[in-house]
Amino acid sequence: MTYTATKHGITGLTRTISLDGRPFGIACGQIDIGNAETPMVADLKARAVAAGQVPPQTMDVANAAQGVLHMATLPPEANVQFMTVMATKMPYIGRG
């Protein structure tokens, strides 16, 4: 429940900054990253395998970095409001 509340809070903050910043040329975007292969996620995978469970699907962390770079290098007249970068086989909205 804490994750969900935080997620909705950040989404609300992103929308508020986008609306309030518009008159000043301020752009704001949110990137949601799912299961990038960080040391923490690698540890979760190893523990799942050791417990005989199916490990989570992951992607190279460079894919997430590429998404951040794309958002950061857009010209001032363009903005990515929301982006989700995740492992293709990660269960999400009917996947998996």
Name the token pair of 1: 């429940």
Tens digit of each residue's pLDDT (9 = 90 or more) over 22-78: 999 999 999 999 889 999 999 999 999 999 998 988 999 999 999 999 999 999 899
Annotate 51-83 with DSSP letters as a single string. Answer: TTPPPPP-B-HHHHHHHHHHHHTS-TT---SEE
pLDDT at 96: 46
Q: 64 and 34 in contact (C-beta within 8 Å)?
A: no
Position 4 confidence tier, pLDDT thresholds 50, 70, 90: confident
Tens digit of each residue's pLDDT (9 = 90 or more) over 74-94: 998 999 999 999 988 887 765
pLDDT at 56: 86
Q: 79 and 45 in contact (C-beta within 8 Å)?
A: no
Position 1 confidence tier, pLDDT thresholds 50, 70, 90: confident
